[in-house]
Amino acid sequence: MSTPTSNPPERTPDAAQTSPNKTTIFNRLPTRALLAIVTLVFVVGWLLNTPPGLEGKADAVGYAICHQIVERSFAVNGQPIALCARCTGMYLGAMIAMAYQLFLGRRRSEWPGKGMLVVLGVFFLAFALDGTNSAAKLFLGHDLLYTPNNTLRLITGTGMGIAMGVMVQPTFNQTLWKNYDPRPYFMSWKSFAGMLAVEAAVVLMVLSEKPFFLIPFSYISAAGVVIFLVLLYSMILMVIFDHENKIEKTADYLPWMLGGILVAFMHIGGVDYLRYLITGTWEGFSLHLG
């Protein structure tokens, strides 16, 4: 009996998926140039109309997707970082999970095994439970199950971020590439445990509340929001325009990435505008609650 190779050939989609590319606004040169110009104008417009500095831009990203309640955020010198404790965990955890997977291989497209999916399911349930309990404290004014705190928000948010990163990255590869690797990123519990160890170390660094850790992690989590939205919206655009499994080299993804960037900043900028219109301030909420 032959021994399977450690690097199986990349999978080629079915014949229906390998038909010649349809002409869309994303593979015509004039409209590609127009798309690049419109995206640049929109992003520059967002940059010019949000608070100054790198910290201000990170805050503006968080402003679009996070309540930024002061009491539920870690702070540097009394100033809350871009995202609340839970959202910091989510997007920081997702970015670390995705970066870790890139070290394990490229274009892998299968979800992890059932046992690992169970672990991810537990992470999701812990996130939902802690989020519900925390929301009850906010809206009812008293504890539902236990007293919520930022440590639990960060830990359960990180667990949810791990689940997001582990599920979205192979899904993205299977949607994007014409020839993708049918293997999962985590082929053993050892590699999965390695990722969890890295995530745990980052959680401990954040909980130290030292500016040396909080400042860069705040920027990474804010960047994670943008990256995650770009990946999701570019996938949606490829599905809408029937372009799944058509990308052969990274350069072919560029126009779809531009489309994802445009929609992501339309999302962020639109929510920023509406929230500022309602509140009249770029500051997060302060409710004087735990």
Question: Residue 225 and residue 203: Cα distance in Å, rounded?
Answer: 18
Q: Is residue 266 part of a domain?
A: no
Q: Which amino acid is at 269?
A: G
Q: Is residue 235 part of a domain?
A: yes
Q: Is residue 24 part of a domain?
A: no
Contacts of 33 (CB under 8 A, 6+ apart): none
Give the per-residue pLDDT at 285.
Answer: 78
Instruction: Give the structural domain span for 142.
Output: 85-249
Q: Which residues pair with 80 in a beta bridge?
A: 75
Number of domains composing the chain: 1
Q: Is residue 133 part of a domain?
A: yes
Question: Residue 136 and residue 11: Cα distance in Å, rounded?
Answer: 48
Q: Which residues pair with 184 in a beta bridge?
A: 110
Q: Is residue 44 part of a domain?
A: no
Q: Is residue 259 part of a domain?
A: no
Give the per-residue pLDDT at 10.
Answer: 55
Q: Is residue 187 part of a domain?
A: yes
Angle subtended at Cα 272 by Cα 263 and Cα 203, rounded to the nearest 5 degrees: 85
Give the per-residue pLDDT at 149.
Answer: 93
- The owner of tokens 């058509």 is 246
Give the per-residue pLDDT at 284.
Answer: 84
Q: Which residues pair with 181 in a beta bridge?
A: 108
Give the per-residue pLDDT at 2.
Answer: 41
Q: What is the mean pLDDT of each run of 10 residues along the chain (290 residues)?
A: 48 47 57 89 97 96 94 93 97 97 92 97 97 84 84 98 97 94 95 97 97 96 97 95 90 93 97 95 72
Q: Is residue 283 part of a domain?
A: no
